[in-house]
Amino acid sequence: MTDTTQSASSSEALLIVLRHPPHGSSWLREGIDVALVAAAFGREVELLFQGDGVFALLEGQAAGALDQKGTHPQLKMLEMYDIERLWVSQRDLDRRGLTVDDLMLPVTTLDPDGVAALHAARPLSLIF
Protein backbone atom coordinates (compact mmCIF):
# COMPACT_ATOMS: atom_id res chain seq x y z
CA MET A 1 0.00 0.00 0.00
CA THR A 2 1.54 3.27 -1.12
CA ASP A 3 0.19 6.67 -0.28
CA THR A 4 1.09 8.63 -3.37
CA THR A 5 -1.61 11.20 -2.94
CA GLN A 6 0.82 14.04 -2.73
CA SER A 7 2.66 13.02 -5.86
CA ALA A 8 -0.35 13.34 -8.17
CA SER A 9 0.81 15.47 -11.03
CA SER A 10 -2.02 17.99 -10.99
CA SER A 11 -4.31 19.15 -8.24
CA GLU A 12 -6.69 20.15 -11.02
CA ALA A 13 -7.19 16.54 -12.11
CA LEU A 14 -10.82 15.42 -12.24
CA LEU A 15 -11.41 12.59 -9.76
CA ILE A 16 -14.16 10.15 -10.73
CA VAL A 17 -15.20 8.02 -7.75
CA LEU A 18 -16.76 4.68 -8.73
CA ARG A 19 -18.82 3.09 -5.97
CA HIS A 20 -21.12 0.69 -7.83
CA PRO A 21 -20.49 -2.82 -9.12
CA PRO A 22 -20.79 -3.74 -12.80
CA HIS A 23 -23.85 -5.24 -14.54
CA GLY A 24 -26.45 -4.59 -11.82
CA SER A 25 -26.94 -0.94 -12.70
CA SER A 26 -25.75 1.61 -15.22
CA TRP A 27 -23.88 3.73 -12.62
CA LEU A 28 -20.47 2.28 -13.33
CA ARG A 29 -20.82 2.60 -17.10
CA GLU A 30 -22.14 6.14 -16.80
CA GLY A 31 -19.29 7.14 -14.48
CA ILE A 32 -16.66 5.69 -16.82
CA ASP A 33 -18.35 7.45 -19.76
CA VAL A 34 -17.87 10.78 -17.99
CA ALA A 35 -14.22 9.90 -17.30
CA LEU A 36 -13.57 9.00 -20.96
CA VAL A 37 -15.25 12.15 -22.28
CA ALA A 38 -13.32 14.35 -19.85
CA ALA A 39 -10.06 12.66 -20.87
CA ALA A 40 -10.94 13.07 -24.56
CA PHE A 41 -11.35 16.79 -23.85
CA GLY A 42 -7.76 16.84 -22.64
CA ARG A 43 -8.50 16.92 -18.91
CA GLU A 44 -6.36 14.83 -16.58
CA VAL A 45 -8.62 12.16 -15.05
CA GLU A 46 -8.08 9.81 -12.12
CA LEU A 47 -10.36 7.01 -10.94
CA LEU A 48 -10.97 5.98 -7.33
CA PHE A 49 -12.64 2.61 -6.78
CA GLN A 50 -14.39 2.71 -3.43
CA GLY A 51 -17.03 0.52 -1.80
CA ASP A 52 -18.64 -1.94 -4.22
CA GLY A 53 -16.84 -0.12 -7.01
CA VAL A 54 -13.82 -2.37 -6.38
CA PHE A 55 -15.83 -5.19 -7.98
CA ALA A 56 -15.49 -3.32 -11.29
CA LEU A 57 -11.87 -4.47 -11.38
CA LEU A 58 -12.47 -8.15 -10.64
CA GLU A 59 -10.59 -10.41 -13.05
CA GLY A 60 -12.61 -12.74 -15.26
CA GLN A 61 -15.75 -10.75 -16.04
CA ALA A 62 -17.77 -11.55 -19.13
CA ALA A 63 -20.68 -10.23 -21.16
CA GLY A 64 -24.07 -10.94 -19.63
CA ALA A 65 -27.25 -12.37 -21.06
CA LEU A 66 -29.32 -10.30 -23.52
CA ASP A 67 -26.40 -8.29 -24.95
CA GLN A 68 -25.22 -6.83 -21.64
CA LYS A 69 -21.71 -5.80 -22.51
CA GLY A 70 -20.54 -5.03 -18.99
CA THR A 71 -17.87 -2.45 -18.19
CA HIS A 72 -14.65 -4.47 -18.36
CA PRO A 73 -14.13 -3.65 -22.07
CA GLN A 74 -14.43 0.05 -21.18
CA LEU A 75 -11.84 -0.32 -18.41
CA LYS A 76 -9.40 -1.90 -20.81
CA MET A 77 -9.63 1.27 -22.91
CA LEU A 78 -8.54 3.56 -20.07
CA GLU A 79 -4.88 3.48 -21.04
CA MET A 80 -5.74 4.58 -24.58
CA TYR A 81 -7.34 7.66 -23.06
CA ASP A 82 -4.28 8.32 -20.86
CA ILE A 83 -6.24 7.50 -17.70
CA GLU A 84 -3.49 5.70 -15.85
CA ARG A 85 -3.97 6.65 -12.24
CA LEU A 86 -6.30 4.07 -10.69
CA TRP A 87 -6.75 4.29 -6.91
CA VAL A 88 -8.36 1.52 -4.88
CA SER A 89 -9.43 1.53 -1.25
CA GLN A 90 -7.52 -1.29 0.45
CA ARG A 91 -10.10 -1.42 3.24
CA ASP A 92 -12.89 -1.94 0.73
CA LEU A 93 -10.95 -4.81 -0.86
CA ASP A 94 -10.43 -6.30 2.63
CA ARG A 95 -14.12 -5.97 3.49
CA ARG A 96 -14.95 -8.05 0.40
CA GLY A 97 -12.28 -10.70 0.90
CA LEU A 98 -10.31 -9.54 -2.16
CA THR A 99 -6.68 -8.64 -2.80
CA VAL A 100 -4.98 -6.77 -5.64
CA ASP A 101 -4.16 -10.18 -7.16
CA ASP A 102 -7.88 -10.56 -7.91
CA LEU A 103 -7.91 -7.41 -10.05
CA MET A 104 -7.60 -7.09 -13.81
CA LEU A 105 -5.53 -3.88 -13.91
CA PRO A 106 -2.56 -2.52 -11.97
CA VAL A 107 -3.77 -0.16 -9.27
CA THR A 108 -2.46 1.85 -6.34
CA THR A 109 -4.10 0.98 -3.03
CA LEU A 110 -4.88 3.55 -0.37
CA ASP A 111 -5.53 3.13 3.35
CA PRO A 112 -8.46 5.14 4.84
CA ASP A 113 -6.24 8.14 5.55
CA GLY A 114 -5.06 7.98 1.96
CA VAL A 115 -8.65 7.88 0.70
CA ALA A 116 -9.52 10.94 2.77
CA ALA A 117 -6.35 12.73 1.65
CA LEU A 118 -7.06 12.00 -2.01
CA HIS A 119 -10.63 13.31 -1.72
CA ALA A 120 -9.34 16.41 0.06
CA ALA A 121 -6.60 17.02 -2.49
CA ARG A 122 -8.86 17.09 -5.56
CA PRO A 123 -11.06 20.16 -5.94
CA LEU A 124 -13.06 18.55 -8.74
CA SER A 125 -14.71 15.19 -8.25
CA LEU A 126 -17.86 13.28 -9.09
CA ILE A 127 -19.23 10.17 -7.40
CA PHE A 128 -20.95 7.43 -9.39
Partner 1 sequence: MTLHLIIRTPHSSGIFADLLDAFADGDYLLLIEDGCYAALPGAAGLDDAVVAGRIGVLREDAESRGLLARVAPSIEIVDMDGFVALTERFPKSLSWF
Partner 2 sequence: MLSYALLVHAAPYSTQGALSALRFAEAAIARGHRVETVFFYHDGVHNASTLMAPPQDEVHLGERWKRLGETAQTALLVCVAAGLRRGIVDGTEATRHDLAQYSVEPPFELTGIGQLVDAVLTHDRLITFPP
Give the interface with partner 1 as residue ranges (CB under 8 A).
17, 19, 21-25, 50-52, 55, 58-65, 68, 70, 89, 91-92, 95-98, 112, 115-117, 119-120, 123-125, 127
Q: Is 64 in the site for partner 2 (CB under 8 A)?
A: yes
Q: Is 122 in the site for partner 2 (CB under 8 A)?
A: no
Q: How far is CA 84 from CA 20, 79, 94, 96, 114, in A?
A: 20, 6, 23, 24, 18
Kindly state the smallest distance separating residue 51's Cβ from partner 1, in Å.
4
Is 109 within 8 Å of 85 (Cβ atoms)? no
Is 47 within 8 Å of 6 (Cβ atoms)? no
Residues that bind partner 2 (CB under 8 A): 14, 23-27, 30, 33-34, 37-38, 41, 43, 64-69, 124, 126-127
